[in-house]
Amino acid sequence: MAKPQTKPAGNKPAHEVRLGNIRATIWLNDTPQGARYNTTFERSYRDGEEWKSSDAFGRDDLLTVGFVAAEALRWIMEQKQSSAPAVS
């Protein structure tokens, strides 16, 4: 059984990408070397009347995970480009 995912206390996501029941949450970490991004993935599901999440993915989830990961990477790269100094 997959353990429940925890989010850093007091830290809001920089961005989320969601497709169906798969979500990528992108976290911004400011470091002395500049902004760094980490991404967590989760799958939402219903257990009776309660919504839960898991970091385990079945075969039928993997294509969606790949698409969500690609979109997360695209967003991170856009952030990196918009914060890069202009080249003359």
- What are the domain boundaries of the chain? 15-83
Residue 37's nearest CA partner among 5, 11, 64, 2 is 11
**pLDDT tens, residue by residue, 53-79:** 999 999 999 999 999 999 999 999 999
**pLDDT tens, residue by residue, 15-65:** 999 999 999 999 999 999 999 999 999 999 999 999 999 999 999 999 999
Measure the CA–CA gap between 20 and 66, rounded to whole angstroms.
13
Residue 18's nearest CA partner among 42, 47, 54, 36 is 42
Task: Give the list of residues 6+ apart from residue 25 with CB closer than 8 angstroms, or none.
Answer: 7, 13, 15, 16, 39, 40, 41, 42
Q: What's the pLDDT at 67?
A: 98
Phi, psi of 83 (to 5 degrees): -100, -5
Q: What's the pLDDT at 21?
A: 97
pLDDT band at 86 (very low <50, low <70, confident <90, very high): low
The pTM of this model reads: 0.81
Measure the CA–CA gap between 28 and 37, rounded to whole angstroms.
5
